[in-house]
Structure formats: C-alpha cells, structure tokens
Amino acid sequence: MEITILYWYWLVAAGVLLALEAAAPLGIFLWFGLAAVVLGGVSFLSPGLAPEAQLVAYGVLALCATVAWRFLFLRHRPRRSETVLLNQRGRRYVGRSFALSHAIEHGVGEIRVDDTIWRVRGEDAAAGSVVEVVGVDGADLLVHRKATD
C-alpha cells in the first residue's frame, strides 16, 4: 500500500496551523503554517514528490523558518531596561543630577528635565542648586543636594 500526500493536505494543514496562530498569537504556529503553505505549492508544482521527501522538506522548512524568526526576534526585541521602566518614567532619572529650576522650600521644589517640569521633594535648597535624584514617590522625584567642591 503506497501512501501519497497531495498538495491540498498541506494547504489544509496550513489553514489549521494559521487558524491556531490567529486564536493564540504566540508566533509558533505561524512558521509551521507558512512552511506547510510553501510545501503545498511545491507539491502542486511537482506532484510526483515522494511522501518521505515532503515530510523531510516540511521539517527543514519549519525548522529554518522558526530559527530565522527566533534570530530576528532576539535581534529586534526591546531591551529589558526599556520594558521595565516603560510606565515608570521617573525611575529613569534615579542617579542623575539636575539643577533646581525653583527652590526647594518646605521640602518641595521643581526641576526641569528636557521638556517636563518635575516636582521634587528633599531638603531645602536655593534655585540653581544641583540635586541628585535618589528615588521616586508617585509623581514626585526624591532628591538630595549634591555636595559642592
């Protein structure tokens, strides 16, 4: 008994795999589905291809597509530091120094960082004094006055 794999078997398999990818977008089934589409096209153009050759070709295509995707994904994914601080913009400034745009009086003042005015809390200091951001509390930056040499 001879087994044959027709081109539309591959296209049905591709449809199922791509439907799974649409239902659960993990980036896994997509590459297996695309390999099945390519193999369906190859089987259509050369219908006498042996089933063993088709299965080996499918395995190679799926593996190559998955490895290529993984390589590209790792190369272009955001750095961990960018994703950790995504919605915590104030934490990006911890450890940096800025000049006070408004004096710190009664523990509250302001600094200008790029195009944003930040409310700061710390010990009283005159406008223009250099302060270092040491922490964040809600929308306030916690600062300490830098020692002047």
Residue ending a domain, choose from 46, 76, 106:
76
Query: Does one domain contain both 16 and 66?
Result: yes
Query: Which residue would you say has higher pLDDT here, 7 or 144?
Result: 144
**pTM score:** 0.50
pLDDT of 77: 65
The Cβ of residue 139 has, within 10 Å, a number of other Cβ atoms equal to: 9
Placement of tokens 């050759």 in the chain: 53
Q: Are residues 72 and 94 in the same domain?
A: no
Query: For 28-43, how does the pLDDT look when each residue is reduced to its tens digit (9 = 90+)?
Result: 888 899 999 999 999 9
Render pLDDT for 31-84 as a digit per residue (tens, 0 to 9).
Answer: 899 999 999 999 999 888 888 999 999 999 999 988 888 888 777 666 665 556
The residue type at 128: G
- With H, G, I as helix, E, B as strand and everything else as coil, classify residue 83: helix
Give burial (CB, 10 Å; 0-12/13-18/19+) of 15.
middle
100 & 43 share domain = no
Please, what is the Cα angle at 108 between 104 and 112, to 5 degrees? 70
Find the domain containing 112 and state its range. 89-145
Q: What local confidence, expressed as pLDDT, does residue 28 receive? A: 80
Q: Write the DSSP string, 31-72.
A: HHHHHHHHHHHHHHH-TT--HHHHHHHHHHHHHHHHHHHHHH
Q: What is the CATH number of the domain that holds 97?
A: 2.40.50.140
The confidence score (pLDDT) of residue 68 equals 87
pLDDT at 121: 95
More confident residue, 2 or 127: 127
Question: DSSP 3-state assignment of 131?
Answer: strand
